Structure 1
Amino acid sequence: MVHHQIKVIQAMASMLTEGGRGVNGTAFPKQPEKALKLYEFEGSPFCRRVREVMTLLNLDYEVYPCPKGGTKYRPLVKQLGGKTQFPFLIDENTGDQLYESQQIIHHLFKHYGKSGKTPKKYAHFPKIPYVALAGTLLNGARGVWINQKIVERAAPEQLIELWGFEGSPYTRVVRGVLTELELPFKFHNVAKERWQDQGLAKLRLKPGKYVPLAGGKREQVLKVMGDNIQVPFLIDPNTQTQLFESAKIVKYLQQTYGK
């Protein structure tokens, strides 16, 4: 447990380096009809840029982890796009396949943003992501390399589902494990939609029973989670498992898919 808390603290430090990006998002996202497919790995600073925008737009998407040394999806990316470079986005709604993080970000705002234009703060990232790279190092470079201890096995028949948001340190720890185990999953963004959502599930700025914004995405998420919203939340349809708490989720993933 102590070791897990250290990971959470490192993930929180990583989040702070980005100035709070990847926490807040629109309550009324423009979800694509067909799921966006993102080939990436948790520890990549370029992938992190894209995930932050995904949270801002509150989009759900499928993740196919491609850690260094991975054998499942890295060869597929080379086959589909012609090179082994990440992130790699497939949007079957528009027919686009994109590599460069800045191009992917422009694409996301164009098709799934309110105005169709990329905001200035997201339009011109530096070529070398010094800040995001520092965040990766602070996070112990987790989610960069494949877990060498895992036995080669096929991916689960059905996608694991994970609810969270990019800036959540607890979610980051879980995604790091999913990456290292090369486990594909559907990520449901649960961005904070207004000031009443700020804070941990039990320590929100607005005291009392949590009430989501009427008609917002969190109102729909509450129907899945029950009487409160807490992330990360994992559903594994392959084993009929539902779990809150990052430590419990990590233990479950390692015991179920890490041997």
Structure 2
Amino acid sequence: MVNHQIKVVQALASALTEGGRGVSGTAFPKQPEKSLKLYEFEGSPFCRRVREVMTLLNLDYEVYPCPKGGQKYRKIVKEKGGKKQFPFFIDENSGTQMYESQEIIHYLFKHYGKTGKTPKKFAQYPKIPVAAFAGTMINGARGVWINKKITDREAPAQLLELWGFEASPFTRVVRGVLTELELPFIFHNVPKERWQDMGPAALRLKPGKYQALKGGKRERVVELMGRDIQVPYLVDPNTGVKMFESADIVKYLKKQYS
């Protein structure tokens, strides 16, 4: 447990390197009919840029982890796009597939943002992502390499589902393990929609019983969880498991899939 808490602290420090990006998002996303797909790996600073924008736009998407040394999805990216470069993004709603984090970000704002334009702070990332790279190092480079113990294991029949948001340190720890185990999953974004959502579940800035924004995405998630929102939340349709608490989720994933 102590080791897990150290990882959470590292993940929190990693989130701080990006100045709060990946915390907040719109309450009323333009979720497409067909699921967006992202081939990426947790420790990549370029992939992180895209995930931050996905959280801001509050989009759910399928994740196909491509850690270094991975054998399952890296070859699919090569087959579909011609090279092993990440992130690799697919939108079947428009027949689009593309590399380059900045181009993906422009595409997301154009098709799924409110104005169709990329905000200035997201329009020109530095070519060398120093802050995000530092975040990866602070996080112990977790979610970069494959767990070599699982190279011969087939992927689960159904995608796992994970609720969280990009900058959540507890969620980051779980995503790192999912990456290292090459476990594909649906990521359901539940970012902070307004100031009343800020803070951990038990210590929000607004005291009293939590009330999600009326008509917002979080209101639907509260109904799903049957309680106040807490992330990460994992559902594994392959085993029927539904669970909170990052430490328990990590333990489950390693026991079930490694």
Q: TM-score range by the shorter chain?
A: over 0.9
* Alignment partner of 1:162 is 2:156: no
SS at match of 2:97: strand
* Alignment partner of 1:77 is 2:77: yes
Q: CA deviation at 1:71?
A: 0.1
Amino acid at match of 2:118: T
- In structure 1, C-alpha distance between the alignment counterparts of 2:150 and 2:171, rounded to whole Å: 22
- In structure 2, C-alpha distance between the alignment counterparts of 1:221 and 1:252, rounded to whole Å: 23
Deviation >4 Å, runs of 4+: none
Amino acid at match of 2:157: E
- In structure 2, C-alpha distance between the alignment counterparts of 1:76 and 1:175, rounded to whole Å: 20
Q: CA deviation at 1:151?
A: 5.0
Aligned pairs for 1:38-49 within 5 A? 38-49=38-49
Match of 2:67 in 1: 67
Match of 1:195 in 2: 195
* TM-score normalised over the length of structure 1: 0.99
- In structure 2, C-alpha distance between the alignment counterparts of 1:224 and 1:236, rounded to whole Å: 15
Amino acid at match of 1:121: K
SS at match of 1:62: strand
Residue segments in structure 2 that go unaligned for 5+ positions in a row: none
- In structure 1, C-alpha distance between the alignment counterparts of 2:254 and 2:65, rounded to whole Å: 16
Deviations 1:95-151 (A, max 9, x none): 111100000000000000000000000000111101100000000000000011225
Match of 2:126 in 1: 126
Residue segments in structure 1 that go unaligned for 5+ positions in a row: none
Match of 2:243 in 1: 243
Deviations 1:191-228 (A, max 9, x none): 10000000000010111111000000000111111120
SS at match of 1:108: helix
Match of 1:180 in 2: 180
Q: CA deviation at 1:40?
A: 0.0
Match of 1:108 in 2: 108
Amino acid at match of 2:182: E
Match of 1:153 in 2: 153
CA contact (8 A) 2:70 2:151 kept: no
Aligned pairs for 1:26-45 within 5 A? 26-45=26-45
